[in-house]
Amino acid sequence: MVISYLGMETVETEVRPEIRIILKTDQKMIDEVIVVGYSSEKKSSLTGSVGIVKAEEIAQVPVNGVDQALQGKAAGVQVTASTGRPGAAANIKIRGTSSISAGSDPLYVIDGVPMTSADFASLNSNDIEYMSILKDASATAIYGSRGSNGVILITTKKGKSGKTNITAKASFGISTRTLTDDDFTMMNAQEKLMYERQLGVGRGAGMTDEEIAAVRNVNWADEVFRTGFTQQYELSISGGTDATRFYLSGQYYDQEAIVPGSYLERGTLRANVEHKMSDRLKVGLVSSAGVSKEGLLRNDRNALNPFNYIYNAQPYDSPYDEDGNYNDDIMVGGNPINIFENIENNPTYINKLKIIAAFNLEWKIWDEIKYTTVAGIDFTQNLQYQYNYPFSQLSIILQPDASQPRGFRSDDFAQRASWVWSNMLSYDKTFNDVHQVKALVGMEAQSSHYRGISASGEGYTSKDVDALDVAATNYTIGGTTTDWRMLSYIGSAGYTYDSKYIIDAAVRWDGSSRFGTNNQYGTFWAVGLAWNISEESFLNEVSWLDHLKLRASMGTSGNNNIGDYSAQGVYAYGSYNGGTTAYPGRLPNPDLTWEKSRQTSVGLDAAFFDNRLNVTFDLYKRNTTDLLLDTRLSMTSGFSARTDNVGALMNKGYELGLSGDVFRNNDWKVSLNFMISQNKNKIQELYRGNDITLGWNNLITEGQPINIYKMVRYAGVNPANGDALYYTKDGKITNVYNADDAVVLEGKTPDPKYFGSFGASVSYKGIELVADFYFSGGNYIYNHNRYFSESDGGLASNNNQDKSMLYDQWREPGDITNVPKQSVGNTPQMSTRYLEDGSYLRLRNLTLAYTLPKNLLTPIKVDRLRVFAQGVNLFTFTGFRGLDPEVGDSPGGSGAGAAGAVVDFSFPAARTIMFGLEVGF
C-alpha cells in the first residue's frame, strides 16, 4: 500500500489490520519558489540571505500599512512606526544605518516596479502574496544600484486555476490610547494651583485652600484622546483556467485615530491577470489603484498639536464653557488657541491617488532560453488641502483687524510619474541531471518626473465657499519640476552541482543622471556560494536532520539618494527690486559618483527533528565608502559646501531566527518562534575628520556609532541648597549650566542595540491562538516633553508640570532628591536629565480565530467561514516616560535630531482591538 499526501513524503507499507503511519514533511516538496530579483529561484538554491514574509503573517496584524506589518517578522529588519498617525509610513532599516545623508530606506519593488515607502498607505496589504527581503550582497547584487540598504520585493496574488474563489471579509474595531492613568503623572488642578501658590505665579498665587479645592479639575489626557472606530470591508475573486489566471480585489478601509482630526479613509482596487498564449508565450498585467484621504495634525510644540495639550494645558482650564462652547483663552505654545475649535474650524487633509501597473511578457524562445520584459508605471498624486475658516480663532489671531480679510486657503499638489522597462534574456539548462547552469543578461531603464504646484489665498466669507478663486487677497503660487533617470545593464551566472554545491555571480552597471558626467556609471558585483550539506549521502541516514545549508557571499551595492542635480554646476535665479538676478547657485562636481557599500555575509539554514526546529543564522559585515556628504569649502569661493564622495562607515552584526512546530498531531499544533538581531555601527572616516552635528544632541564623529548623543550631564541636586548640578566637560560638578560642557555619551545612541520578536501559535481543530511579542532595547531617547513638564518652576506659569515638581522638590537643606529647588527664575536646560532608556517589550499582536468545520458549512454552500478577534499593542512594558517608546519620528526636519532621537509631543501608537468575519465561497 502506498500512502501519499501533498507536501508529505510518500510511505509504502504492507497492509495490516491496524496500522499507524506518521507522514513526514517532504523537504523537497515544500521548497518554495520565490521571486528574488528579475527571476524566481527555489529557496534551496539561493546563496544569499533572503527573508520571506508570507500573506498570513501580514494579515495577522491589522495595521494600515504593509510596512508596519513587517515589524518582528524578519530578522535584521528593524521596523519603527514613524508616528502613530494613521497613514504614516514606517522607518525600515535592514542591517543597520549604512549612510549618513543618502538615506537608509531599502529599495521597494512591487511586481517589478520600484516604488517609494511613503505610498504603502495606499496599498491593500491583503493583496500581497509574500514579501522577499534581500539582505546580503549576493541577494541584492542584481539590484546593485540601489541595493545598499537592502531590497524588499513584494509579489501580489495571482490566482489559481480551477474553481473560482470568492472571499469576503469584514472587520470592525476600536483604537484607544496606550497611556494608562498610572502613567499619566501631570498635576491635577488642585496640585497645580498649590504649586503656583508656592511659587507665587499664575492663577494659584494668593488663592486660599478653599478656593483651590473648589476649582474643577480637567484631565487633558482624557480630553485629547478619544476612542477611534475602524471598519474594513473587502472582497476578492480569484481563479482561472489552465491558460488564464486572475485575481481581482477591492477594499474599503476607514480608521479614526485616537485623537480628533486624524483619520485615514481608503479605497483600493486590484486586477491581476495572466494568460498563456501558448506553451512558450505568457503575458500578464498586474495593476492596482488606491485613493485615500488622511486627516493631518501639526507636530512638535505647535499650538495646533493636540499632544502638546496633554502636557502643557493647565488642568484648571477647560476646553468648553458651561454652555458647551469652546473656551478661547487656553494658552498653549504661547497663543490663545483651543485645539478642539482649531481642529473643527481649520481642516487639513491630504488626498492621495496611487496607481501601480505593470505589463509583463515571457517568451520561451527555446527550451533553455527565455526572454522576459516588464514595462511598469508608478503614479502618485498628492493633493493637500488646508482651510482656516474666516471665523476661526486662528484666523482672528493671524488677522486681528476685523476690517481686513480673514480666512486662509491653500492647496499643495504634487505628482510623481515614473516608468520602468526591463528586458532580460535568461538561460537555464541541466546537463546529465546534475549540472545545472544558469545565466542572465538584461537591461533596465527608469525615468521619474516630479511636478509640484502650490497656491494659497486669504480673505473668505463663509466656511462653505472654499474655492481658491474666491480668495480676496494675498495670492501666492509656487512650483517645482524635477527629473531623474537610470540606465542599467545586468549580467549573472550560476552553477549548481546535483543540488549540493551552488555558486553564482552577478555584475551590474548602473548609470544615474544624478552623478557627474565623468562618473555616472558604477559597477557592482557579487559572488555567492552555498552548500546543501543535507543532500550529501553521508547525511542520508541522519534522521533528525532534515535540512542543512551553509551560505557565504560577498559583493557591492550602491546608493544614489541625493538631490537630482547635485553634480551640476548651475546658475540660480532670484530678484532684486523687481528685476531678475542670476547668480552661481551650485558648484559643479563632474566626479560625483555612487556611494558604495561592500558586504560580506555568512549564513546557515537548518531544520531538525522533522521541522520541529528551524534555525537561520547570519553574520554580516558591511563597509560603506564614498559616502555622499557635503564637504566644507573655504567660503572665499562664494560657496560653503559641495556634495562629494567622502567618508566611510561600517555596520556589523548577526541575525538569529528559531522556529518550529514543536508539537503537532491531527488536532493540535503548537508553533514557537524567536528572532533576534544585533547591529554595531561605527563611523570610520569623515571629511577632514570634521564632526557633523545633527539637531540638538546628536553627533556624527569618527570612531563612534552614528548619531551618538552629545549632551551636558546632569549631576542631580545639591542637598545643601537645592541647586541643579551639572558636570563640566572635565567631570567637575558645577551649578552653572554651560552648553559647552556637553560631552559624547559613550554607548548612548538612538539606535537599539538589539531587537527582535518571539511568539507562539496554538491551534486545536479550528481554533487558533497567536501571540507575537516585539522587543527592542539599548537605545536612548531625549524626552523633550519633560523639558517643559519638569521645568523646576521656570515654565510654571504657562505650562502644566509633572507631579514630581510638587512632591519631590528640594525644600530644605539636607533633602536628598533629584528635583531641584523650585523657582520661577529657573530655566530648563537640555541635559541627560531628560535622556531616557528607550527599551521596551510589547505584545504586538494577539489573535484568536475560529474556522468552522466543513461539515457545518457544506449545507449552506460555504467553503470557509472564519471569525476572529485581534488585538494590537495590548501591553507595553517599558521604563520610558513618554506616551510611546516606539519613536521613529525624524524631527530632523524641525532641526531636533536623528530619527528616533527625540520625543517632541509625538503622535503615539494606539491599542487596537478588531473583530472580523471572513467567508469563502
Contacting residues toward another protein, per CB under 8 A: 277-278, 281, 361, 363, 371, 373, 421-423, 425, 441-443, 445, 480-487, 489, 511-513, 520, 564-565, 568-588, 632-640, 642, 688, 690
Q: For another protein, which is the closer residue by CB, 39 or 851?
A: 39
Q: For another protein, which is the closer residue by CB, 250 or 588?
A: 588
Burial letters for 566-585: b for 16+ Cβ neighbours within 10 Å, e otherwise?
bbbeeeeeeeeeeeeeeeee
Chain CA centroid to CA 154, Å: 15
Q: For another protein, which is the closer residue by CB, 473 or 537?
A: 473
CB of 346 to another protein, least distance (A): 24
CB of 449 to another protein, least distance (A): 10
User: What is the C-alpha to C-alpha distance for residues 183 and 175, in angstroms, rounded to an integer?
Assistant: 18
Q: For another protein, which is the closer residue by CB, 227 or 637?
A: 637
Q: For another protein, which is the closer residue by CB, 410 or 422?
A: 422
User: What is the C-alpha to C-alpha distance for residues 121 and 90, in angstroms, rounded to an integer?
Assistant: 10
Q: For another protein, which is the closer residue by CB, 512 or 623?
A: 512
CB of 277 to another protein, least distance (A): 7
Q: For another protein, which is the closer residue by CB, 585 or 920?
A: 585
Name residues whose C-beta falls within 8 Å of residue 199's C-beta, 6 or more positions apart in sequence.
Answer: 205, 793, 796, 822, 823, 824
Q: For another protein, which is the closer residue by CB, 422 or 616?
A: 422
The x, y and z cell numbers of residue 273, run together, are 491577470
The count of other CB atoms within 10 Å of the CB of residue 322 is 6
The count of other CB atoms within 10 Å of the CB of residue 855 is 7
Residue 354's identity, in one-letter code, is K
CB of 634 to another protein, least distance (A): 4
CB of 398 to another protein, least distance (A): 15
CB of 446 to another protein, least distance (A): 10
254 in Cβ contact with 173 (< 8 Å):
no
669 in Cβ contact with 660 (< 8 Å):
no
Q: For another protein, which is the closer residue by CB, 156 or 589?
A: 589
Burial letters for 281-313: b for 16+ Cβ neighbours within 10 Å, e otherwise?
ebebebbbbbbbbbbbbbbbbbbbbbbbbbbbb
The x, y and z cell numbers of residue 883, run together, are 506616551
CB of 648 to another protein, least distance (A): 20
The x, y and z cell numbers of residue 451, run together, are 511636478
User: What is the C-alpha to C-alpha distance for residues 270 and 442, in angstroms, rounded to an integer?
Assistant: 29
CB-based burial label for 850 (10 Å; 0-12, 13-18, 19+): middle
Nearest to 251 by CA among 264, 263, 266: 266
SS3 884: coil
The x, y and z cell numbers of residue 358, run together, are 505593470
125 in Cβ contact with 171 (< 8 Å):
no
User: What is the C-alpha to C-alpha distance for residues 268 and 918, in angstroms, rounded to an integer?
Assistant: 18
CB of 735 to another protein, least distance (A): 21
Q: For another protein, which is the closer residue by CB, 469 or 740?
A: 740
CB of 688 to another protein, least distance (A): 7
Q: For another protein, which is the closer residue by CB, 346 or 372?
A: 372
SS3 246: strand
Q: How far is CA 319 from CA 313, 340, 510, 908, in A?
A: 10, 7, 58, 22
Q: For another protein, which is the closer residue by CB, 277 or 736?
A: 277
CB of 165 to another protein, least distance (A): 31
Q: For another protein, which is the closer residue by CB, 6 or 635?
A: 635
CB of 457 to another protein, least distance (A): 15
521 in Cβ contact with 510 (< 8 Å):
yes
Residue 460's identity, in one-letter code, is Y
List 835's β-bridge partners, or say none. Answer: 782
CB of 736 to another protein, least distance (A): 17
End-to-end CA distance of the chain: give it in Å, rounded: 35
Number of H helices, E strands in the chain: 12, 50
User: What is the C-alpha to C-alpha distance for residues 111 and 122, in angstroms, rounded to an integer?
Assistant: 16
The count of other CB atoms within 10 Å of the CB of residue 55 is 17
CB of 570 to another protein, least distance (A): 4
